Each structure stands twice: as C-alpha cells, then as structure tokens.
Amino acid sequence: MEDLETLKAQREILQAQLADIDNTIRVHQVAEKVQVIAAIRLKMAAYNITLDELRGEPTKPRHAAAKGKGTVPVRYRNPETGDTWSGRGRRPKWITASADVDRFRVGS
C-alpha cells in the first residue's frame, strides 16, 4: 500500500491537471461564444432583425403614415348666432351662461 505522502503528491498533480483542463475548457468556450455571436450578427443583418424583435417587443414601422384628423361632429348649436361646439375643450360663453345646456344639444 502506498504511503500517505505519495497519495497527497498524486492528488496535487491531479488537481493541477484538472485546473489546466478547466482553463482550457474556458478558453475554448470563450472562443466558441465569439464565433456564435458573430454568426448571429450576420444572420440578423441578413434578415434585418432588430434587438427589439429578439426581445419580443413590438416593432414600430419606420415611416408610419400620419393619421388624418377627422372632423368632430357638432353636439351643441346656439340657435341665435349659429355658433357650434363639439363638446370638447373649454365651454363657450353661450353654454356656460345658460342654466339648461340640453336646449343647445343638436338632434334633441
């Protein structure tokens, strides 16, 4: 049977070899990772893929057509002057001066 000192020496040699192997594995992993990233970048460029698309975020069109602002229907009309108000924004004086706003409502 081998003595204790010989076994300890063999263990140290094996641990050093294991450290070398681990280091070699790490170096190869880093090199492989660099190659994979380069390949991914090439594919992304070839297919015009953005990082937002990879993250699953919705894409925004680069040149979206502007929405046309339609006219808002008239909801209130002053029968005396013909002035109108859509119901949006600040109330006109002829509405605020009246106690009954519904009498100006169009279609009622």
> Of all residues in the chain, what percent carry a pLDDT higher than 70?
92
Using CB atoms within 10 A of its CB, is residue 49 exposed (0-12), middle (13-18) or buried (19+)?
Answer: middle
pLDDT at residue number 62: 66
Contact 81, 98 (CB under 8 A): no
**Which pTM was predicted?**
0.44
pLDDT at residue number 108: 59
More confident of the two residues 74 and 25: 25
Rounded distance, CA 96 to CA 88, Å? 14
Contact 104, 98 (CB under 8 A): yes
Contact 84, 74 (CB under 8 A): yes
| Residues recorded for the chain | 108
User: In the predicted model, what is the mean pLDDT of residues 73-86?
Assistant: 89
